[in-house]
Chain A
Amino acid sequence: MIHAHDSLIVLMLGRILIPLVQLYGLYVLFFGQYGPGGGFVGGVIFGTSMILSVLIFGHGASYSTMARTVRHGDGVGLLIFAGVGGLCLIGGGEFLNYAALEIPGLDVASRRYLGIVLAQIGVAVDVGVTAISIVFSLSFDHEDGDSHA
C-alpha cells in the first residue's frame, strides 16, 4: 500500500507534470503515423502518467481514481485490436485487412489509415493498462488494502 508522498514539492510537481505527460502520450499515439512513436510508446507513456499518480499520491487518492478504475481492463485493448480484424472479416476481406472495413464514402487508402489508427488505440490501451495492472500487483498489499482502504 503506497501512501501520499511527504514532500510538498513532489506533490506540486506531480500535479503539474501528470497532465503534461498524458498530453504528450496522446500526441505520441496519434502522431505515430507521421513521426516516431505509435500505439506501443503512446500507451506506455499514458500508463506511466497514471503510475506516477499512484506513486506520488498513493493508492487511495482521488488522483489515482483513473488508474484504480482501469486496472482490471487488460483485455479491452486486445478486444479493440482483434475487433477491428473481425470487422474486416465481416466486410468480406481477410483478418486485419483494413481495406475491407465497411465504411461508406472512404476510399481504400483512407480505410487502411483508419484501421491503423484504431489498431494503435487498441495496442495503446492494452499496453498502458497492463503496465498499471503490474504496478498494482507489485505494490498493493491486500491484507492492508481490503480492511482499511
Chain B
Amino acid sequence: MTFSFEVPLLILLILTAAGAILVKDLVPAVFILGSYSFFLALVWACLGAVDVAFVEAVVGAGLATVFFLLTLFRTAQKDTRLYPSSYRGAALIGLPLLGFLILYAANDLPKFGDPASPASVHVSPVYLENSLHDTRTPNVVTSVLMDYRALDTLIETVVIFTAGIACALLLGRSRE
C-alpha cells in the first residue's frame, strides 16, 4: 500500500533515535528528538491517523522541544552518565532478547486493517455508523473522544492539570 514511503521513514526514525541518544551535547540531542517526533508524525499520517499525527507534530516536535530547552538552560548542557559501564554487557544481551520476544508476540496480533479483528467488530461500527446522525460531527475521532468517551477525556484533562500543578509546586516556588 504505502510500503515504499514507510521503509525510509522507519529508517530515519531509527537513525534519529540513535542520534538523540549518542550525541554528547544535549542541545543538538533535543533538536534531533524533535525531528524524531516529526518523522513519527509522518508515519502516523501515512497510516491514516491524521489526528494522532497532528498531536505528535505539535506536542512532540514543538512544545516538548521548548520544555527540554528551557530545562537545559537551567541545568547542565552536557551528558553526564550516572551508571557504571559494566551494565553495558548485560544490556547488549538482554535488550535484543527482549526485542526478539516482542517481535515473536507481535506475530499473534491481527493484521493491520483486518476487518475481523476484535477492535473492528465490537463498538467501532456503532460509532462509525451513528456519529453523523447522533452528534452532527463528521470527524468520528472528535465525536468518540468528546461525546461517546467523554469521561476518559475528562480524566486525561485531569492528568494534564495535575502535571501543571506539580510543575508549579516543584519548580515555581519562591525562595524565601
Contacts and interface: CB of A to CB of B under 8 A. Distances in A.
Give the interface size bracket for A toward B.
35 or more
A148 B111 CA distance: 62
A33 B173 CA distance: 40
Nearest to B174: A142
Nearest to A51: B66
A120 B70 CA distance: 29
B66 A55 contact: yes
Contacts of B141: 36, 38
A28 B59 CA distance: 14
B142 interface: yes
21 contacts: A35-B139, A37-B54, A41-B54, A48-B62, A51-B63, A51-B66, A74-B168, A96-B151, A112-B135, A113-B137, A116-B135, A116-B137, A120-B142, A126-B157, A129-B164, A133-B164, A133-B172, A138-B74, A140-B172, A142-B174, A143-B174
Interface of A: 28, 32-41, 44-45, 47-48, 51, 55, 74-75, 77-78, 81-82, 85, 95-96, 98, 108-110, 112-113, 115-116, 119-120, 122-123, 126-127, 129-131, 133-140, 142-143, 146
